[in-house]
Each structure stands twice: as structure tokens, then as C-alpha cells.
Amino acid sequence: MTPSHRLHTGPIKRMAEDMTIRHLADATIDRYTYHAAQFARFLGKPLPRATPEDVRSFQLDMIENRKLGWSSFNQAVCALRFLYRVTIPKPWPVTMIPFGKRAKKLPTVLCREEVEALLRCTPNLKHQTFLLTLYAAGLRVSEAASLQIPDIDSRRMQLRINHGKGNKTRLVPLSPRLLEALRAYWVEYRPPQFLFPGKTPDRPYATTSIQKAVKQAAARAGIAKRVTPHVLRHSYATGLLEAGVDILTISRLLGHSSFATTMVYLHVRRPHLDSVPSPLDWLPVRQLPGWQQERSTGNRKHPDRA
């Protein structure tokens, strides 16, 4: 399958080449060129003739008409900043293109029982092993999809992640239980190159298929939370934190570029939340509404005894 950015022409093709020279990932190049193409259609004139007001109108269109989330919005901003800083340098300051404000939400986390139910309700062995790999190693879905057979080091009990975010490579521990599951999976499928091949052996498995499988498994398991493959990564990180692993180690295992990104898991770990009492528990029993109602009912005389 040819990456979509190779189908472009003109300034967008040059933009893709500029990103290739800087060793940006194919997925990043595809997303940036997609947003640049969307801007070109919105602009209705050659990209070099764009003005700051054109960019502002495009951003308003993304918010008001296309209803893009903050992630896609900021992705488009990054694309335009690269386009007009590197490929088509402009006299106006590119840094003036504002980013959208990211919503501060706590990650969704599954408890052990929910993870077990999710895996049990995934009948397809390939899907089940994929989800098990996500949870056991805390991988992003793209990282698990890109795993190849040589990345499994059973002697040192390590997984080598070669396609991390930002094209960074890292090592994560290989769980003995995961190794056992991977061996059983290999006996069944015998993948030649990618651990989880797609429609052809030389392509990784489509992430959309895994997303669909997770959604269906969560429905079968009766999990009311919104479950995505990334939720398993959140659950991995929170589980390590609750087990006493220091947060710096967790940050390295997750491949976070910023230590602050890992800090969010401090807010969802159970020991932290369970240790905080409710002020309601400090009130005298007589202050509780239920006690007052029960007392008044109990003191009321029975009609037959009047």
C-alpha cells in the first residue's frame, strides 16, 4: 500500500519531501499533508498566496463547521506551521498560528477483573493476543501493530519497540505469561515477518480492526466504560503505579518524552483515592437525614395504642 502523501503534487508533495528529509514517520507525513490539502481546498488559491487572515478563517471553519476535536485541530496547526516555516517560508510570523486548548481529562482505566473479562470475551485468537500484548507491555496500538518476530527477545525477556512515537526505540519487559501466549499464537498463525500481519504478510495489521474488536469485546463483557486499545495502555501504567513501581521508570517504559505526561496517572491510582475520606463520615450520626426520619417514625404512636 502506497502512503497517501506520495499521491500529492506541487507544494504539498515538496512538504512531504521536506518531512522525509527530517526523518518524520510516514503516519505523521500522511496526517500533515492531509491537513495541508484540506487547507488548499478551503483556500481556493495557490498556497504561497495565503495570508494570516486565511489561516484564521480556516481555523474557525475547523471549529464551527467541521467540529474537529482539539487533537485534530492542533495537528492541522502543526501542519500549517511546518508548511509556512519550512516548505513555503512566509514574511509573517508562523508562530502566531494558535493551538487549541487541550481538554484536561483523566484517563479511563480498567481494573484487573474488567481486563480479564475483556480478554475472555475476545474469541478471535489474533485479536486476543494483540490485546494481551497491549496490556502486558503498555504499548500504543501502532507500536504493537509494527512488532516483528525479531523484536521478541525470549532470552533476555524483552520486547524491542522500534516504531515508538517520534521514531524512538525502547525496550520493555516481556511477561512470561505473554511469551507463553505469543508462542501459542505463533503455532497457530506462523507469521513470517510482522507479529500481527495485515491482509498481506508484508503489512502490519490495521489499527481500525483492533479498535472494532475492542469495542465489541467490551460490549460482550458488559463494560459500560468507553474502551479503546489505548485504555489498556492506561491500565498498564496505573497497575504498575499501584504495584509500587516508581513513576520515572513507568515514564521510560511508556516512552513518554515528557515526565509530566506520566504524572496524570497519579490522579487515578486506587491507593491514592482510597486513602481520602469523605467529610460525610466525620459527621455525628444524629446529623444524618436518615437518622432524623427514622427517629420521628419510630416515636410516632401506633393508632391502635392511642
Candidates 140, 163, 234, 236; catalytic one: 140
The C-alpha atoms of residue 201 and residue 26 are separated, in whole angstroms, by 19
Contacts 24+ apart (CB under 8 A), 49-54: 50/84, 50/90, 51/92, 52/92, 52/96, 52/97
Candidates 6, 81, 230, 269; catalytic one: 230
Cell of 103: 481538554
> Is 233 one of the annotated active-site residues of the chain?
yes
> Is 49 one of the annotated active-site residues of the chain?
no
3-state SS, residue 171 = strand
> Is 101 one of the annotated active-site residues of the chain?
no
Candidates 13, 90, 256, 269; catalytic one: 256
Candidates 165, 170, 252, 269; catalytic one: 165
The C-alpha atoms of residue 28 and residue 163 are separated, in whole angstroms, by 12
> Is 165 one of the annotated active-site residues of the chain?
yes
Q: Compute, in degrees rounded to 10, the torsion defined by CA atoms 19, 168, 74, 140.
A: 130
Cell of 35: 491537513
> Is 256 one of the annotated active-site residues of the chain?
yes
Count the alpha carbons within 13 Å of 161 in the hemisphere toward its beta carbon: 26
Burial of residue 267 (number of CB atoms within 10 Å: 0-12, 13-18, 19+): exposed
Candidates 126, 233, 234, 236; catalytic one: 233
Which residues belong to the active site?
A: 140, 165, 230, 233, 256, 265
